[in-house]
Amino acid sequence: MPKRGRFSFPVLVGISVLILALGVISLLSGALGKSLLGDIGLPGWLSVPQPHPELPAEVVFHLLGFPITNSIITAWLSIIILVGIFYAATRRVKLVPTRLQIMLESALGWLLNFCQSVAGEENGRRFFPVVATIFLFVIANAWLSLLPGFGSILITNAEGETVHLLRGANTDINLPLALALISFIFVEYWGIRSLGGRRYLRKFVNVGQFFRSMGQLVRGRLRAGLSGMFTGVINIFVGMLEALSELVRIISFTFRLFGNMTAGEILLLIVAFLVPWVLVLPFYGLELLVGFVQALIFSGLTLVFATIAVTHHEAETA
């Protein structure tokens, strides 16, 4: 048996036996094992109390009459962590980079590459700051709430209630909504900036054909006027649909992020209640993946919508 990696064979066997034993203990001490086999007298600290997931965020304290919830605190925390990491990495930028600098440079390089492959060379550079910020913020929020002990810090607030100090910021619907609004505003801004206000609005208010054929009707060309009128009405209707579908994007952005993150949080709570020890780990891996994918989808869809907004309406459908 050749040595694999750093561990020799007996050590590997030992680790596997330990993990297996922990798995069996976890199965026995959790709620699942208790309901299947009955209580077999394991010590109480092995099991996890039944979780009570709450949908609205809890108010921790008031700042100038403004309620500060635990999800706001977590959002601040992830902002601080992001700023700290980037400050530490770029404080002394060297030609021969440190490990942290290499990591951040390759991550940002990958993001820039992603932007440019979707939106093109020039537009990709233009959209990059917003898209990368959304990506990093969402992924920091998602991964921060996976840290062990994250949701188990309890404090007492001014009203005397016991509340969680921290809670995944993405699981409060206000934060996804705020991000969706930011993404919406930036998409509209880019669209207006690169097409001009009138040309951009023509996508939504498309009345040119209608009035032209009305003029034809007045001048007595009945046949051409009526058929043009019909197309004009359809154009107006399609413009309304465009405007409404722009609004629907905000809702679908919001609920996609909120739904996925809240479902993941509740899944982890329930699994930790059923089988407390080793068997939760695959689900943590799953949530790492979900956090990454959701951050990618949120920023990527912003990028795609921005790309659509800055291209000509006719050029895109043709």
Partner 1 sequence: MSRWVAALRLVGVGFFVGGSILLGVVAGLWLDNKLNSAPIWVIVGLFLGLVIAFYGVYRMILPFMGNKRDKENS
Applying CB under 8 A, which residues contact partner 1?
114, 117-118, 238, 241, 244-245, 247-249, 251-252, 255-256, 297, 300-301, 303-304, 307, 317
Closer CB to partner 1, 224 or 251, in the complex: 251
**Closest CB 186 distance from partner 1, rounded Å:** 16
Greatest alpha-carbon span in the chain:
96
Q: Are 78 and 137 in contact (CB under 8 A)?
A: yes
Nearer to partner 1, 51 or 300 (CB): 300
In the bound complex, what is the minimum distance in angstroms from residue 297's beta carbon to partner 1?
Answer: 6
In the complex, the smallest distance separating the C-beta of residue 260 from partner 1, rounded to whole angstroms, is 10
- b/e burial code for range 229-238 (CB count within 10 A of at least 16 → b): beebeebbee
Nearer to partner 1, 102 or 178 (CB): 178
Structure tokens at 167: 């809670």
- Please state the closest distance from residue 241 (CB atom) to partner 1, in A: 5
Q: Which is nearer to partner 1, 261 or 301 (CB)?
A: 301
Nearest-angstrom CA–CA distance, 89 and 100: 6
CA neighbours within 13 Å on the CB side: how many for 295?
19
Q: Smaller CB distance to partner 1: residue 251 or 281? A: 251
Nearest of 134, 83, 122, 118 to residue 104 by alpha carbon: 83
For 274, phi then psi, to 5°, come to: -75, -50
Q: How far is the CB of 170 from partner 1 (least distance, A)?
A: 15
